[in-house]
Amino acid sequence: MDPTERMLRACRGEPVDRPPVWLMRQAGRYLPEYRRVREGVPFLAMCRDVERAVEVSLQPWRLLGVEAVILFSDIMVPLLGMGVELDFAPGPVLARPLRSAAEVDALRPVDPRDGVPYVFEILRQLRRELVGARIPLLGFAGAPFTLAAYLVEGRGSRHFSALKRLMYREPAVLRALLARLTDLTVAYLNAQIEAGAQVVQLFDTWAGLLSPADYRAWVLPVHREIAAKLDRARAPLILYVNDGAHVLDAMIESGADVLSLDHRLEMAEAARRIGRRASVQGNLDPCALAAPPERIAAWVRELADAARPARGHVLNLGHGCLPDTPVEGVRAFVEAAKALGPAA
Ligand code: CP3
Q: How far is it between the farthest Cα atoms of the chain?
A: 59
CA 83, chain centre distance (Å): 23
Q: What is the pLDDT of residues 149-171, one digit of tens each?
A: 999 999 999 999 999 999 999 99
Report the separation in Å between the CA atom of 48 and the middle of ligand 1, taken as the mean of its atom positions.
15
Q: What is the mean pLDDT of residues 256-270?
A: 98
Ligand 1 pocket residues where CB is under 6 Å:
24-29, 38, 43, 70, 72, 74-75, 88, 90-92, 140, 156, 203, 205, 242, 320
Q: What is the mean pLDDT of the chain?
A: 97
pLDDT exceeds cutoff 70 at 343: no
DSSP H helices in the chain: 3-12, 32-38, 43-48, 50-64, 77-80, 101-105, 112-115, 117-130, 144-153, 161-169, 171-194, 212-218, 220-229, 248-252, 267-274, 293-306, 327-338
What does the pLDDT read at residue 341? 81
DSSP bridge partners of 202: 141, 239
Q: Whose CA is nearest to atom 42 of ligand 1?
A: 28
Q: What is the pLDDT of residues 68-96, one digit of tens each?
A: 999 999 999 999 999 999 999 999 999 99
Catalytic residues: 25, 29, 38, 74, 150
Neighbouring C-beta atoms of residue 299, cutoff 10 Å: 18
Report the separation in Å between the CA atom of 179 and the middle of ligand 1, taken as the mean of its atom positions.
24
Q: What is the pLDDT of residues 40-70, one digit of tens each?
A: 999 999 999 999 999 999 999 999 999 999 9
Residue 23 near residue 330, CB atoms below 8 Å: yes
Q: Which atom of ligand 1 is nearest to the CA of 146?
A: 24
